[in-house]
Structure 1
């Protein structure tokens, strides 16, 4: 049975919540709720008075009074005149379940889960990122945000506006098949036209990021014998998503102009392609090849799934028209992301396609999760309508351009033996190292020296892939950390170099 907490225990309990990011009053409420629900505060024993607890925690008495009163309003505490505050016994009713008495019998009839799994996603090759990447001094990883660049005040403004009474009436309901109409309107009038794409409201569906968009498409369109073409090297999650639906994944080679338009495409029903910034090599498909790819899609009767990630982050010249903007016969399904350039954790993406396709995708999405958070959708719609998103993209592009230049300069200075693909935009750089280099080993050794990189082997479908490629992201590393990080990486590479090898080996293009 729980016993009354003494003063030192209150101090220790409070310390567990000091890093929650909440106000003092919020931290006290959080501490008390945790103690109540964890059974540390027994029913019938009075809590310390506001004067006692404020002294034990070193906070103003009024802060404790307000915390106590809010917990009374929320039903966690009851106030008894001249007796103080007590845990509300009704809160704990039904929360405690009698623990089953363990039996001594051996487990002989447990289900055979190995036999029951339809497929094993844990056995797929995925990009692996350290959860504590922020603890490393030189995180050259892709797909994370930089808190310095996040528009905190602007996002907070939109989040608060979305909490108005009228807005709550809109997004608090179960929208079932629908999306936030204001967000769809912003996507079709403010986001898509920048890429030359024009769509009506019934040709757009909002998703939980671009990755769910691909999963919905695979769920709806791909059967076990559907041939799907994937760039090789290419995006591992797309490969794994489509590979979970079909056994007919076809690796398609890429070169310095992106996906090659070859006869291999005739064997595909669907082709996944990243023409704006090929993943992972970052090269951009030129207009002539895009037109040739569309023509082949018509001639061979296949569908293109265009993942237009990072299209808005181009450093020089006008962006190349999207495949979707050039499409005249509904051969292109367009996938985009709003959150990738703002904060990946927000998870907002979308699909643009024919109305009949979008209607079915909404049906699949309903079965999966109904719809993405309507509150986040409304906040994002406000973020777009107030011009914050465009301002953020301008700041982000400027910062990324500066970091990309710093990375290129540092590589030329400290690692002339590697071959980076010229950076034209985006937030990463693809590196081809000397032929003797094993990027997996380099990644492990670099991590020991505080440098995080992404080995390139995971991007290849075949196990017989070149092992000397790796990716350097610069979206989440401070500008002043780039050169010392590359200098440290150069030291690791030279420590790995075999004594009899020459760093002047010829370097084949990845995938050839």
Structure 2
């Protein structure tokens, strides 16, 4: 390269590694990055569109369009017969801001935050993944959509329709404490009736995923005097949300049929996952559901029902939601509508008596006002066009196939590891032999490229050692399941050798 300035432009305008963005957008991002970093100062002349296209291997139309957008937005200025320059108003972020001086009299003393923080969850056991978990070959964990199943065209269509000028007035205003009426209507007429639940609009509130639903309910219903019955093992994210209010924990035993209802003592609240018990995947029988509601009436407690993955049923007709059997308004129902698409979409909802929903709306308004109205509008369209149902059918077929593949591989390579086939969902709860500590196995498995969810995080008081773990199948490609189980079996063999060596040394 003969001209040293060409090398400079090539280095400055290195396009960001975002292949999903059009080349025009990537070039625009590169120019804005250099301006905001101060490497392109006000008045700097940029290469002509012809020269920059040649240097970067782009079409001249691409460069011209990017330049024009940057001129329109005030980053660049076009001077007739002179060229393209960095605009005088395009100030670099942070340039000209002088760091504050330390006051005279010695160094400033930083506050000690530990005694100031009144509620902390640092150190709380929960589901977690390594920072670069996607780099592992066999991620049997929750947290990623399946690009082969994601309904890209259907969801894009709904987002594009939402961005149409005629739709802007429907979702751009501030909704204050309210939600998008179209989404509420889709929930109460299309989604909830499939679970046997019929609700009025004033009995539904949209949340930023089920997680915010737990947080709102904790703020409204829990304090240090509240007796909270919680499944053991149970869902750690809900437990940690509730733990911030420091209730009086009462563990509720879980067996192969879900929570054991006839052992429930005097309580104020009970949290259950009846459709797919988290993490064991057991389904609460109709008989136990009826008994739980009778106990709630007799003992005067309220039930929070987390109906996650209720639509992910492989065969037959699902058991109606606990809420559908509720005749006295004692069940608070929590659902998630976007989890089947991608965890990051974060759309959930609560169905509860209108007085409680009114309280929750005011609590939500203090924190986030309301979930994204754009996303609510787009998902209402997605539901109204039938995309949700068709995607659920595809997803169920795929998860059924994955569960079957994982079950076959476990039986073949780890025959002494026990599990029950679930009626639906995307997980297997595995009981290893008693000598296995699942937390130690999880560390060993990482060295073989395998990620699993050790069972101790699901317990308030985990057995030691805890031999249970969960295999989540929503984030792993189907052709990686069997090789992943085989790699896990090698990790088990290595762990067995290490345990025997420790026993030999101790003996």
Name the TM tier (shorter chain).
over 0.9
- Deviations 1:342-363 (CA, angstroms, capped at 9, x unpaired): 1111000000011111111110
CA deviation digits over 1:3-39, x for unaligned, max 9?
Answer: xx93223323443513252111111111111111111
Q: Tell me the equivalent position of 1:306.
A: 305
Aligned to 1:124: 124
Secondary structure (helix, strand or coil) at the match of 1:249 reads: strand
| RMSD of aligned alpha carbons | 1.8
Determine if contact 1:242/1:249 at 8 Å carries over to the other structure.
no
State the secondary structure of the residue aligned to 2:318: coil
Are the equivalent residues in 1 in contact too, given 2:232–2:458 (CA < 8 A)? yes
Q: Which residue number in structure 1 is paired with residue 155 of structure 2?
A: 155
What are the equivalent positions in structure 2 for 1:78-117 lying under 5 Å apart? 78-92=77-91, 95-96=94-95, 97-101=97-101, 107=107, 109-117=109-117
Per-residue CA deviations over 1:221-261 (Å, capped at 9, x if unaligned) read 11222111111100111111111102412211111111111
Counterpart position of 1:43: 42
Unaligned runs of 5+ in 2: 501-507
Aligned partners of 1:177 and 1:363 also within 8 Å: yes
Shift of 1:210: 0.4
Alignment check: 8 A CA contact 1:14 1:27 kept:
no
User: Is contact 2:102–2:108 with CA below 8 Å preserved after alignment?
Assistant: no
Q: 1: distance between equivalents of 2:5 and 2:179? A: 51
Does the aligned pair in 2 maintain the 1:154–1:388 contact within 8 Å? yes
Alpha-carbon shift at residue 42 of structure 1 (Å) = 0.9
Q: How big is the shift at 1:195?
A: 0.2
Paired position in structure 2 for 1:416: 415
TM-score of the aligned structures, taking structure 2 as reference length: 0.94
Matched, 1:274 2:273: yes
Q: How does 1:181-330 map to 2 (within 5 A)?
A: 181-266=181-266, 268-330=267-329
Distance 1:29 1:320 in 2: 53
Whole-angstrom CA distance in 2 between matches of 1:247 and 1:438: 30
Helix, strand or coil for the counterpart of 2:261? coil
Provide closer, same or farther for how the CA distance between residues 319 and 180 of structure 1 changes in structure 2, counting only shifts above 3 A: same
Against the structure 1 CA distance between its residues 285 and 466, is the aligned structure 2 distance closer, same or farther, given a 3 Å change threshold?
Answer: farther
What SS does structure 2 have at the residue aligned with 1:228? strand
For residues 358-379 of structure 1, the C-alpha deviation after alignment (integer angstroms, 9 at most, x for no partner) is 1111100000100000000111
Change (3 A) 1:466 1:282: farther
The alignment covers a number of residue pairs equal to: 496
Distance change >3 Å, CA 25–CA 16, structure 1 → 2: closer
1:24 and 1:93 mapped to 2: Cα distance? 23
Matched-pair contact (CA < 8 Å) for 2:399–2:474 = yes
CA distance 1:249–1:500, shift in 2 (3 Å): closer
CA distance in 2, matches of 1:400, 1:456: 21
Structure 1, 168-177 or 330-339: larger mean CA deviation: 168-177
- Residue 67 of structure 2 corresponds to 68
Give the Cα separation in 1 of the matches to 2:389 and 2:462: 42
* SS at structure 2 position matched to 1:19: coil
Q: Does structure 1 conserve the Cα–Cα contact (< 8 Å) formed by 2:409 and 2:482?
A: yes
Shift of 1:98: 1.5
Q: Which residue of 1 aligns with 2:505?
A: none
Q: Secondary structure at the match of 2:115?
A: helix
CA contact (8 A) 1:446 1:489 kept: yes
Q: Quick check: 2:268–2:302 contact (8 Å CA) kept in 1?
A: yes
Q: Distance in 2 between matches of 1:484 and 1:404?
A: 14
The 2-side partners of 1:6 and 1:460 are apart by 62
CA contact (8 A) 2:209 2:348 kept: yes
Partner SS state of residue 392, structure 1: helix
Q: 1:58 to 1:364 in 2, by over 3 A?
A: same
Runs of 5+ consecutive residues of structure 1 not aligned to the other structure: 502-512
Query: What whole-Å deviation, never above 9, does each CA across 1:380-423 have from its counterpart, x for those lacking one?
Result: 00110111111100000011111111111111111101001222
Q: Any idea what SS the aligned residue of 2:439 has?
A: helix
Contact 1:142 1:427 in 2 (8 A): no
Greater shift, 447-456 or 8-17, is seen at: 8-17
C-alpha separation between the residues in 1 aligned to 2:228 and 2:344?
A: 29
Query: What is the alpha-carbon distance in structure 1 between the residues aligned to residue 491 and residue 83 of structure 2?
Result: 64
Assess, with a 3 A threshold, how the Cα gap between structure 1 residues 55 and 408 changes in structure 2: closer, same or farther.
Answer: same
Partner of 1:404 in structure 2?
403
The whole-number CA distance in structure 1 between the counterparts of 2:29 and 2:120 is: 39
Corresponding residue number in structure 1 for 2:425: 426
8 Å Cα contact 2:42/2:90 also seen in 1:
no
Deviations 1:284-319 (A, max 9, x none): 000000100100001110000000000001112211
- Contact map agreement 1:339 1:347 (CA 8 A) in 2: yes
Give 1:498 shift.
5.3
State whether residues 143 and 340 of structure 1, in contact with CA within 8 Å, keep that contact through their aligned partners in structure 2. no
**3-state DSSP class of the match of 2:350?**
strand
Separation (CA, whole Å) in 1 of partners of 2:430 and 2:54: 58
- Say if 1:191 and 1:410 are closer, same or farther in 2 by CA, change over 3 A: same
Structure 1, 81-90 or 345-354: larger mean CA deviation: 81-90
Alignment of 1:334-373 (within 5 A): 334-373=333-372
Note if contact 2:176-2:369 (Cα within 8 Å) is conserved in structure 1: yes
1:494 paired with 2:493, answer yes
In structure 2, the CA distance between the partners of 1:430 and 1:93, relative to structure 1 (3 Å rule), is closer
